[in-house]
Structure 1
Amino acid sequence: MSYKLSLIGPGDIDFHYYQLLKLKPKKFQSELENIAKALSELDISLELLPDNGICIELAKLYKKAGGKEVIGTVPQSDKTFGISHLQEYVNAKIDNKNLFDKIIDSGDWFKHDLIKGLMGDSILYLGASPGTDGERNYAVYLYKLMNQYKEGIEVTGKKIHPEINAGKNFSILVYSPFLINKRLPKEDEVYMKKFGINLIYIKNPDQLKEKLTELIS
């Protein structure tokens, strides 16, 4: 089984990266292409929610660059909000081939948001937004429970969902150029350390490749 990297990031590229972060579209696109190239050169799979935003755009570029596998995690069992708005992304194609090699049912939307960040061996965090930060924070909280940091609770990742991959060397790689302040809040850093999560700040695609190579080995 190849190393699985869970992608989380903002859905509105124009608002978040161009208006909020003030990135130039050409520079942003170039950065994304270089990230995709770095990832495609590693023996890893990418996991993401098939939806509008940076994650699926990165996955497309990764596949175009020769990337190995793209996995979609979708709350197919949801009865509250449904997933009809995701179908065009689930069915996305690259060079007339399906972008997604595999689709995992994450349950309903409520469970999906809780477990999304734990589906990979590590998280690549591509920017701060309400949804993205929810996924990151819930991953930290559930990882705390999985590792018995809360008295009276004993639960494994596989009991929560059979496709959860997060284990002893669980890491969150934060792509600093996509954060206004280049770092997470100090409180978040301290809690991750307390619960045994590796927090790694990434400055560029080359460093991303280097750090992932270390994690995979």
Structure 2
Amino acid sequence: MSKARKNYHDYVIKDGEFIGEFEEMYKDCEDPWMQSEQPNKYSRMAGILHLKNFNIKSVLECGCGLGYYADWIHKDTGIIPKSVDVSVAAIEKARELFPELDFEVADITKELSKFSDLDCVMFSEIVWYILPDIDSLLVTLQKDFKGKYLIVNQVFYKGSQKYGTEYFTSLNEFIDYVPFKLVGRCEATLEHESTIETSSIFEIG
């Protein structure tokens, strides 16, 4: 597949339809979402503050991509996250970039339970990509992670969302959807931006 033929967005969601070609995207695109520049800094920093504020010592980062956020978490908290992604190509690149960190290929829609020894599960900007499995994932969290934490870093769109609108379109709607106790939330945007960055933390009960 030619690198010139597609923008990285086209591998993920296009025209309101979920594509989900993550392996192809990481093979064809050098730096999707400009991960090396730490996009969505408000929500990412808020996620780190959640880890600190609730004295979380271990975290499963779901959707680690190339590992740049895992590196930021490590530098700011001292935690080495267990960082997982469904893409083999992404994990190979992450291991090359950050050999001191802990990366693993895993599909959390099928393998989440095996990480139940960790204090916290973090959905790192992946909610739109796991919508078909969101209900079963919430059931797994309730069953296997009781008393632990769920952090969700997620971008919402100012009136332009096409995909997933039957689930939720804002942080408030997402919070209402999640059956756990909300213990922290953060929203931020710039006036010229079309997106709203959010980070929420729930106590799993």
Q: What TM-score does the superposition give when structure 2 sets the normalisation length?
A: 0.48
- The answer to which structure has the higher strand fraction is 2
